[in-house]
Amino acid sequence: MTFTSRLLPVALLAVALAGCHKDEDRRIDGPAERAGRELDEAAKKAAVHLEKANEELKVAADKTGRELDEFAGKAGENLDKAAVAVGRKLERAGEKIQANAEAARQDQEPAKHEKK
């Protein structure tokens, strides 16, 4: 009986330790758990890809903005040059109109004197 009384606490300790496993260790993953983990992993990968795409989009937007600013500046310069050129042509046309009007007046003055 001494042997049994000594063996009983050891057996109880072994049974107690056997029951100390975490629930996760004893859990058997079913298809839903596996699918959930796979979805979590896919979501993490997608988040990384989305973050990278977002950064690339920001870089592209900045580049496009700079290019548009540069284009607008050049277009403004070209419009200024065109406006100056049109202004000169209008000024010359006005001068020609004045010269033609002056010539017409001079042609009419002798004709008025001759009628009298």
Per residue in 74-101, is it b (16+ CB within 10 Å) or e — as a string? eeeeeeeeeeeeeeeeeeeeeeeeeeee
pLDDT (tens digit, 0 to 9) for every residue of the chain, 116 residues total?
565 666 667 666 676 666 655 555 556 778 899 999 999 999 999 999 999 999 999 999 999 999 999 999 999 999 999 999 999 999 999 999 999 999 988 888 766 666 55
Q: How confident is the model at residue 47, as a pLDDT?
A: 96
Q: How confident is the model at residue 109, as a pLDDT?
A: 76
Q: How confident is the model at residue 8, as a pLDDT?
A: 64
Structure tokens at 27: 């859990």
pTM: 0.44
CA distances from 103 to 74, 86, 115 (A): 43, 25, 19
Q: How confident is the model at residue 15, as a pLDDT?
A: 64
Q: How confident is the model at residue 90, as a pLDDT?
A: 97
Q: How confident is the model at residue 107, as a pLDDT?
A: 83
